[in-house]
Amino acid sequence: MSFFLRLNLSLILCAGVHGVPQVSWLPCSFRDENKTQLVHREALLQFGQKGDAPVNPHRITFLVTGSKLDLMRYLEGVEAEQVECEIYRFSTPGIQVRWPVKGDHEYSRWFTCTLKHTGGLFKVTGLLRHPTDQPPSGRPDYHSWTEIKDTDILTTTVALVTETRTPSVSARLSSKQKLHCQFAVDHKAPHVTVEWQWHQHGRRDKLFSYNSRTGQTQGSGVSLKNLAHGDASLTIPRTNMSHEGKYFCSVSVNPLLVKMEINLHIEEAPRVSLNVGPALSLQEGEEQKISCVVEGYYPLDVETIWYSEKLSASGQKGGVSHSKVSYSVQRTGHIQNKDDTYKLTASFYLTASLRDTGREFTCSVSHQSLREPIIKGFTLTVTEPSFWVVYLAVDLFLVFLVYKMLPYLIRRGKRKSMQKLYRAALKQTNMKEEESLLH
């Protein structure tokens, strides 16, 4: 563990209130830009008061001082190593827009600071204002950005902040979803524009827009009452496949603009069934098609595996781990249902053998919507053919043989009858000829 990380953890523990950790500074990646290249530099985001000494004088320090907005409150109860911090320059148009909260100097340099929880619990973006006495050049500011040295301390305040507690959402079909987007500005009655857009596969749709200056509203899904208190959350009353994609909650207060990205994924868990019951009894040599039917899942990444394991006489599993079935398993392709979910079947042909009696067969189905695989199985019992079955088979064979031989026997009987009639007629003809000779 590095010296700075140990120091950071010590500060967190010392600043904790009632056992709740309080982050006092964070290591950050500063994405610096000049005319020719993009450079990633090491920096610190430090919370404190103007004039505080930097935690590390050899790193660029963005000192966030007190204002009406406080980034620290978004980090309550969070440990430093759970937060990813990135800072980069924010480019404004060439025209000068004076910020209502001027501070020590009339002009401003802007930086975007993004704090993201590694576990996906939140994402916070703040626009940091660094006052300066250098007037704008009249061109886009990236043409004349001031060089920042590794030892510089930039004292800033938070001018605009947006937050989402739903940076990534997994939703089931026909569910109600709320995409969280909160914002705050450091002065009263700001002229705010709020907009929601949806992006997917190159397509872009505007879902909602609101302009506080004109009062104009387009679209739906956002409560105007909540919007007045900084809650721009979008509600989807009933999700379907068309709602999947990237959502952007945009909040702008001229000259600032923040876009908060929220990803909505549709996940539907599979239903699994077998075409046989939990106990299957077959006679030796009998063949049975075994099918594992997986249906109603989304997206496509489903895995089906057939396992078999020999059970002991007491019904307990044997000492060896289960193995994949040695039979050839055939899988159908993904068949799309009317609701855009999918279905497939994994089947194999089982030929009963006495050595397999007591063997357990299981179909294991894994999918990203499941915490653990779905298991469906059956136990096989194989019996020897009984004598009455043999007798029945012999009888059936004889019936079949007679059925096949009957036309031949009929034809043969007819030939014998014709031969008898022919011989009788021939004999009678010969007798008549002998009588005529005697006369």
DSSP string, 149-183: -TT-EEEEEEEEEEEES-SEEEE-TT--EEE--EE
Residue 4's pLDDT band (cuts 50, 70, 90): very low
- Residue 122 · residue 164 · CB < 8 Å: yes
Report pLDDT for 56: 94
How many Cβ atoms from other residues are within 10 Å of residue 330's Cβ?
A: 12
Share of the chain above pLDDT 90, in %: 62
Report pLDDT for 107: 82
Say which residue, 337 or 417, is predicted with more confidence: 337
Distance CA 51, CA 79 (A): 26
Report pLDDT for 17: 34
Report pLDDT for 123: 97
Strand partners of residue 2: none
Report pLDDT for 434: 57
- pLDDT of 397 higher than 90: no
Query: What spatial distance separates the first Cα and last Cα of the chain, rounded to whole Å?
Result: 143
Report pLDDT for 140: 65
- pLDDT of 386 higher than 90: no
Report pLDDT for 61: 97
Report pLDDT for 132: 83
Residue 143's pLDDT band (cuts 50, 70, 90): low
DSSP string, 72-112: GGGGTT--GGGEEEEEEE----SS----SS-TTSSEEEEEE
Report pLDDT for 414: 62
Average per-residue pLDDT in the chain?
Answer: 85
Complete domains list, the chain, with CATH:
3-266 (2.60.40.10), 271-383 (2.60.40.10)
Report pLDDT for 385: 79
- pLDDT of 3 higher than 90: no
Residue 15's pLDDT band (cuts 50, 70, 90): very low
Report pLDDT for 94: 63
Report pLDDT for 133: 81
- pLDDT of 5 higher than 60: no
- Residue 188 · residue 103 · CB < 8 Å: no
- pLDDT of 403 higher than 80: no
Task: Give the CA distances from residue 76 to residues 9, 72, 157, in Å, rounded to whole numbers and listed in that order.
Answer: 14, 7, 19
Say which residue, 290 or 9, is predicted with more confidence: 290
- pLDDT of 176 higher than 60: yes
- pLDDT of 433 higher than 80: no
Q: pLDDT tens across 249-288, in order?
A: 999 999 999 999 999 999 999 999 999 999 999 999 999 9
Joined together, the tokens standing for residue 104 give 């020590």
Report pLDDT for 198: 97
Predicted TM-score (pTM) of the model is: 0.77
Q: pLDDT tens across 323-338, in order?
A: 788 788 999 999 999 9
Q: pLDDT tens across 181-211, in order?
A: 999 999 998 999 999 999 998 899 999 999 9
Report pLDDT for 16: 38
Say which residue, 252 or 319, is predicted with more confidence: 252
Helices (H) then strands (E): counts for the chain: 3, 26
Distance CA 234, CA 222 (A): 5
- pLDDT of 146 higher than 50: yes
Distance CA 249, CA 319 (A): 56
Say which residue, 370 or 430, is predicted with more confidence: 370
Say which residue, 83 or 12, is predicted with more confidence: 83
Say which residue, 435 or 46, is predicted with more confidence: 46
